[in-house]
Structure 1
């Protein structure tokens, strides 16, 4: 069953849409929101598989909200609004469906049938582009933001003794605001860099298209990570939206990707903490870790481990972050060597590759 958040400023229209959706066996309305700001909080709280959006809303119109949603938290969205809004290029803005609201004289039965037909036609897309991830075996809760092992979740893979320094690798973690920020960084990177691994908190189904977008806007070869991939210079690898990404050393001394379908760590799968720890175990002090914009504290523990192991660590500064959460926690934990503006991150990565920064 797919869960839906209904966003509409009209209580009566929310009730009508909710009742119609709940009558469809494959769908359930998990929450309602009366404007874009309420919707933002409900999305974070309920993590729906799909949202329906009205265009004419107070405070922030639906088109602006849709654009922000696709930029900061991409997910399937269906516009339910007046027929005239179709000229707003809502599909170019990221909508996967459009359902006109009933016109004068149209029966609610007809309106309900259009909702049903539209949603059922989207099920094949939702199977591919859905937020519905495999259920975690156990939900892990963090009780403290301090870097203290007993107050943090198990990081899935154990921390090993400091690894022998291997070949360089660059690891990047990001969340809210990371999609556009990563695009900006990757446009400025050269193609002669060590392998780059990326964990961006992104819904399942959107990570492949985002990897393709990075690839199209960068001189690097960017791909969604798959188990068994050997890391190569001039290449970057993005964790899938529902799997932890780890790095292992092969018998031949190469780095190889291994994906884990395991419990959420720091409330996320993929988790920056899991990736950073595996990089620390495998690469040790030869690594560079970059913490970019994002909400929460995912990555803080393992970034401190990397820092203590001699790796070069940087964090995006508050001024250039969409959300100064993950970088702030890493800085507070003493896990960061340099604090860098978004516009300078690519330069720092290139300098690290050239041995100019340690």
Structure 2
């Protein structure tokens, strides 16, 4: 039985959703909330397995709340809203499902069927989440204001001279908008490229499924990284949603190393941690790609890679969902070339073939 918290400012819609969800054997509505602030307290109290979120809500809109939830306490969230226009990009904000509210003339039976089909399709993800469900914290972990701390990568992985220079590695960092953007890039990549390591800010428990999607879209063999995996040509390694991904030299091989430490640059996994480890290991032989995302995670270590002679590119503003991370890297002087999303694959291929540097 999966527990659900409904968040909607309409009392009548709360009642409708509660009845519909409770009619599904595998689900039980544990409580309802009429805005984000009430939802925050009830999530702390009940720790539900799933939340449903409306977009148009008082005090704080559903998208802002969803982004805070995704950043500070990632958990499965389904958006149920009349703004069907957001159905194409709500997943980039952290949702695992989108259900448009019934339109004029649609029967409640049809709406009920859509609710049931969507929730049942998510049970395999919910099972993974509940098995590794984070323990509740004593203080409010879903905050309504920005976090006022920032851990520097030095506190997790000190900077040092490269230990395996000459070996090419491609490192990619992305956040908001990165899910669909990475799929577009990987769909154009051939096999036999140098190993690719990826940190995408992704909700806890869903990175493995996303790695499988990347694998299905690409000739690159993509997997969720596990500790101690040998980096191979033609393979991609995605950071787990709750661990920092790094690489290290063991003998004559490069291997993955996962770190279960504090958040860096407000994220775990952190692009700064991945890029710092790539710099420490292969240095100027690396290529670093900064893609769409909010904030500045990755800027510090990307500048270090740039200064060390690595080839660095950033996604341009026109093709970004959020231009934050690429913009910060560009402003820091950490980027050699600024390219459109649809050109990133070509740049990776050219770098791999030694045509650009």
* Cα distance per residue 1:247-274 (max 9 Å; x no partner): 00011x2100011111111111111111
Distance 1:332 1:25, change over 3 A: closer
Match of 2:110 among 72, 79, 84: 84
Q: Which aligned pairs between 1:85-100 and structure 2 lie closer than 5 A?
A: 85-86=111-112, 91=117, 95-97=118-120
CA distance in structure 2 between the partners assigned to 1:258 and 1:20 by the alignment: 40
* Cα distance per residue 1:137-178 (max 9 Å; x no partner): xx996668xxxxxx8464511111344523100000011111
**1:348 aligned onto 2:347:** yes
How far off its partner does 1:228 sit? 1.2
Question: What count of residue pairs does the alignment treat as equivalent?
Answer: 318
**1:213 aligned onto 2:213:** yes
User: Structure 1: 5+ residue runs without aligned partners?
Assistant: 99-120, 145-150
Match of 2:30 among 21, 30, 39: 21
Which residue is 2:294 aligned to?
295
User: Structure 2: 5+ residue runs without aligned partners?
Assistant: 19-27, 33-44, 103-107
- Look up the SS of the partner of 1:27 in the other structure: coil
Residues 171 and 275 of structure 2 are in contact (CA less than 8 Å); yes or no, is this contact kept in structure 1? yes
How far off its partner does 1:5 sit? 5.9
Distance 1:142 1:247, change over 3 A: farther
Residues 247 and 256 of structure 1 are in contact (CA less than 8 Å); yes or no, is this contact kept in structure 2? yes
- 20-29 or 33-42: which moved more? 20-29
CA distance in structure 2 between the partners assigned to 1:27 and 1:74 by the alignment: 15
Distance 1:165 1:315, change over 3 A: same
- Look up the SS of the partner of 2:247 in the other structure: strand
How far off its partner does 1:214 sit? 1.0
Match of 1:38 among 55, 61, 64: 61
* TM-score scaled by length of structure 1: 0.76
CA distance in structure 2 between the partners assigned to 1:220 and 1:272 by the alignment: 21
- Look up the SS of the partner of 2:198 in the other structure: strand
Q: Which aligned pairs between 1:92-241 and structure 2 lie closer than 5 A?
A: 95-97=118-120, 125-129=125-129, 132-133=133-134, 152=152, 154-163=154-163, 165-241=165-241
- Look up the SS of the partner of 2:61 in the other structure: helix
CA distance in structure 1 between the partners assigned to 2:247 and 2:48 by the alignment: 38
Residues 7 and 35 of structure 1 are in contact (CA less than 8 Å); yes or no, is this contact kept in structure 2? no
CA distance in structure 2 between the partners assigned to 1:90 and 1:17 by the alignment: 11
CA distance in structure 1 between the partners assigned to 2:169 and 2:100 by the alignment: 42
- 174-183 or 14-23: which moved more? 14-23
Residues 200 and 238 of structure 1 are in contact (CA less than 8 Å); yes or no, is this contact kept in structure 2? yes
How far off its partner does 1:206 sit? 1.5
How far off its partner does 1:225 sit? 0.6
CA distance in structure 1 between the partners assigned to 2:10 and 2:148 by the alignment: 37
- Look up the SS of the partner of 1:167 in the other structure: coil
CA distance in structure 2 between the partners assigned to 1:191 and 1:29 by the alignment: 38
* Cα distance per residue 1:277-327 (max 9 Å; x no partner): 000000100000000001111111110111111110000000000110100
Provide the aligned C-alpha RMSD in A.
3.6
Residues 155 and 274 of structure 1 are in contact (CA less than 8 Å); yes or no, is this contact kept in structure 2? no
- Look up the SS of the partner of 1:293 in the other structure: coil
Which residue is 1:248 aligned to?
248
Residues 173 and 198 of structure 2 are in contact (CA less than 8 Å); yes or no, is this contact kept in structure 1? yes
* TM-score scaled by length of structure 2: 0.77
